[in-house]
A and B are shown apart, each in its own frame.
Chain A
Amino acid sequence: MDRPWFDQETGTLLLDEYVLEMDSYRRIVEDDVISDDELVEQTQRVASLLRRLEEALSSEAKALATETLGELAVLNTLQVKRLQTTSMLPQ
């Protein structure tokens, strides 16, 4: 998974492209139905990865990662709120 986060030519973020290639994503969206088990499994996967990440990072890198994940969560909240107001997601 040691791949660039940004397109070298355009500078655009590539992470969404990688998400689409992940087995976990493909498996979950394959049938367009997200079961309780799939949701639980994914939350456990994320929690486990965050734990490993926390242990692997230096103090400086951890501070940066904490800020990045926090800002990403804020962006995600904004996006969900906006999609809700445009009725693309259930309220």
Chain B
Amino acid sequence: MGTFNSSKTFPYVVEDLAPVAQDVMHHFEDQDYEVTETNIATGGVQVSIRRGGTFKAIIGMKTALNIKIEPQANGTRVEAGVGIFGQQAIPTAITLLVFWPVVIAQVWNMAQEANLDDEALDVAEDSLKARSEASSGATAQ
């Protein structure tokens, strides 16, 4: 676990991570979260989720729980952390604000109290496992 993020590497290899991202998105969409996905240059996918009350806007930019799903050598790494909705990096203009670290810590605490980070990791793990098994089953046939 990092400063304001939770991460796990799961021993499942899935060639196409887009359906896994879709599973994570649908899971939270069903709970009335606003969701979006972004492709990562490393071949992974980032899912952003937010809902008013927990994730506030800063400089008009929406904070969100960003869930990165990235391929690793022998598995898939999933990381959930606070960021900006639909953006991979937090804009420098925001990170330079004096109170930004306080705000990000507060948003992260709220996300953790709602167990959102664990929930995101669990959903991603279930999807990775299912799709990894389906893929190896299809290969075996």
Contacts and interface: CB of A to CB of B under 8 A. Distances in A.
A15 interface: yes
Contact of A12 (B56, B59, B92): B56
Interface in A5-30: 7, 9-13, 15-17, 19-20, 29
Interface residues of B, number: 19
A20 B98 CA distance: 11
B106 A16 contact: no
B53 A16 contact: no
Per DSSP, are chain A's interface residues mostly helix, strand or loop, or mixed? helix
Given A10-B110, A16-B103, A20-B59, A88 B98 contact: no
A16 B92 contact: no
B106 A12 contact: yes
Q: How large is the interface on A (under 10, 10 to 19, 20 to 34, 35 or more residues)?
A: 10 to 19
Interface of B: 53-54, 56, 58-59, 92-93, 95-103, 106-107, 110
